[in-house]
Structure 1
Amino acid sequence: MSETQIAQDQPQPALRPGDSFRTAGRTITEADVVNFACLSGDFNRLHVDAEYAAGTNFGQRIAHGLLVLSVLSGLTTQSSGYRALEPWILALLDVSCRFPKPTFIGDTVHVQVTVAERTPSSRPGRSIVVFRREAVNQRGEVVVQADFKMMVRDEVPA
C-alpha cells in the first residue's frame, strides 16, 4: 500500500494504514543530555561520563532513550501533520517503544509518523488508531520506534 501524506488542508484525514507524515529535524545537544539528566535524576555514566562511555561498545556518550522519546513526541506535536489531526484526537491510550540504535550527542533526528492500524472502538463514532512514530537519525537509522495507540473521532462535530 502506498503512503499518503496527511496534509493540513484535508477536510478530514482518512487515517488509513500507510498514511504518513514527516516532521522537521532537531539536533540532540550536550545541553539536552545534561538538562535531561538533571530533570530526571538519571545520571547513568553512559550518558554523562565521557571517559567511562569511551570504554563501552558505543565508544562515546549516548543520549537517554527517554530523552529521544520525548523529543520524538515534541517534534510530532509541533508538526503540521499532527496539527491537522488534533480535532480528531480524543485520548492517548497506550505507548510501547523500543530503542534499536543509540542516539549520540550531535545526531539530528526527524520523526516519520505512519498510521499502523485503525480499528473500530466499542464506543460509537470512535476508532482506535495506532500511530507508529520512528525517530530517524541523519544516517537513516531508526533510533526510537514507538507505537502510540490513540482514540480518535470518526467525525468532528460542526
Structure 2
Amino acid sequence: MSETKTVAPKIGKDARYFEELNPGDSWVSPRRTITETDIVNFAAMTGDHNPIHTDEEFAKTTIFGGRILHGPAGFAIATGLESRLGIKEGTAIAFLGMNWDLKGPIKIGDTIHVEEKVTGKRESKKPTQGLVFFHVQLVNQRGEVVQEGEWKLLMMRKPA
C-alpha cells in the first residue's frame, strides 16, 4: 500500500497572504506587446474565427479599422501579466469569479499591462483562508483602459 504525502505549496518570494493584503495596495505588471500570433493562436484554440479577428480586409471595413484581439484573450493575457507580479504565487487558493468589462479594442502592436488594486477583503468560514477583492485594469500604451473589472480570490492566511 502506498502512502499519500502532503506537499506544502511553494510560496513565492513576493507572495502575500490574506493578512498582508489591504485595501489600497496596488501593483503594476510588466508589459507585453500583442502580436498576430496571439490572435491566430487564440482563434485556433477556441475555434472563434470571427472575421473581426482573422480577416484583415473585412476588419478594415469595421469601426476598428483592422483586426482586434478576441475579448476573452485580453482577459487571459491579463491573468498572465498579473501572475508575473508574484503576489499570489502559492498563496492563492482559488479564483472565484469576476465582473469584467471590455472598454476598447486591443490591436496588433498594442503594448498592454495590468494595474491592480486591492479594494476589499472578507473573512471566510474557514480560519485558514479569506476572500480578497481586486480591481484590475488592462491598460494600453496610450494609457487607455481597454478592459477592467473586479476579481474575487480565495487566499491563504499566514500559517500560525
TM-score of the pair, normalised by structure 2:
0.83
1:94 aligned onto 2:100: no
Distance 1:10 1:53, change over 3 A: closer
Task: Give the corresponding residue for 1:145.
Answer: 148
3-state secondary structure, aligned to 1:36: helix
1:52 corresponds to 2:58: yes
Within 2, Cα distance between the matches of 1:11 and 1:43?
A: 41
1:41 to 15, 38, 47: 47
* Structure 2 counterparts to residues 71-150 of structure 1, below 5 A: 71-79=77-85, 83-150=86-153
Between structure 1 and structure 2, the one with the greater Rg is 2
Distance 1:41 1:74 in 2: 21
Taking only the aligned residue pairs, the percentage that are identical comes to 37
Residues 94-145 of structure 1 show CA distances to partners (whole Å, capped at 9, x for unaligned) of 1221111110111000111111211111222422101222110001011111
Provide the secondary structure at the position in 1 that maps to 2:131: strand
- Whichever residue aligns with residue 62 of structure 1, its letter is I
Runs (5+) with no aligned partner, structure 1:
1-6
C-alpha deviation, 1:12, in angstroms = 8.0
Return the alpha-carbon distance in structure 1 between the equivalents of residues 14 and 83 of structure 2.
13
Q: Which amino acid is 1:85 matched to?
A: K
SS of corresponding position for 1:155 = coil
AA matched with 1:122 = K
Letter in 2 for 1:121: S
Scaled by the length of structure 1, what TM-score is found? 0.84
Q: Take 1:92 and 1:9, find their aligned partners in 2: how far apart are those partners?
A: 16
Paired with 2:123 and 2:16, the residues of 1 have a C-alpha distance of 22
- Runs of 4 or more, structure 1, over 4 Å off, are 9-13
2:20 is paired with a residue of what secondary structure? Answer: coil
Structure 2 gap segments, 5+ residues each: 1-12
> How many residues are treated as equivalent by the alignment?
148
The Cα shift of 1:150 comes to: 0.8
| Alignment pair present for 1:20 and 2:26 | yes
* Larger CA deviation: 146-155 vs 12-21: 12-21
